Amino acid sequence: MNNELILKNLRNVPDFPQKGIQFKDVSTLFKNNECIEELRHELLSLYADKGITKVVGIESRGFVMGAILAADLGAGFVMARKPGKLPAETLKATYMKEYGPDVIEIHKDAINEEDVVLIHDDLLATGGSMQAVCELCKAFNPKKIYANFLIELKIEGLNGRKVLSEYDVTSLLTID
């Protein structure tokens, strides 16, 4: 992957959403077509031969590349959203983020036992949101669950990858 292109277009926002957090803003990647194409190509090369039938995007930045990847793979796209955003019956999970608790939901009819699921999000830090969505997807008893991130933070104390040790996890870019 062209790490230089991605790093050059990734915005760092200090003290967001609270003091002490160095937020990695991927929205600047999405406004650059070269970055989108680079990410698209890398994601497709990782998952083209895995038999993915559903891509689950985690709200909200996971929706962008997750939906693009689902289309490229010929798979369905499922949204994992904050409470009250999905119109039909849902399953929900509560988890801890770096800066406090949160809740995520998925429709009860989103996945079935025949599915091979790829859960996609923008960033791996503590792994809380991905772990919660993995557990929600696991409740559907799919054939396999993969987890993917655009960026993985390898900063002392975050330990996101350890939290997800039972899943097949990939990241396109690692930042120390």
> What is the pLDDT, as a whole number, of residue 100?
76
Q: Is 156 inside a domain boundary? A: yes
CATH number at residue 101: 3.40.50.2020
Q: Is 39 inside a domain boundary? A: no
pLDDT band at 139 (very low <50, low <70, confident <90, very high): very high
CB 132 within 8 A of CB 93: yes
pLDDT at 29 over 90: yes
Q: Domain span at residue 167? A: 49-175
The pTM of this model reads 0.95
Q: Is 62 inside a domain boundary? A: yes
Q: Is 108 inside a domain boundary? A: yes
> What is the pLDDT, as a whole number, of residue 98?
64
pLDDT band at 22 (very low <50, low <70, confident <90, very high): confident
Q: What is the mean pLDDT of the chain?
A: 95
Number of domains in the chain: 1
Q: Is 43 inside a domain boundary? A: no
Report, as residue numbers or ranges, the catalytic residues.
Answer: 61, 98
d(CA 38, CA 34): 6
What backbone torsions phi and psi does residue 9 show, to the nearest 5 degrees? -100, 0
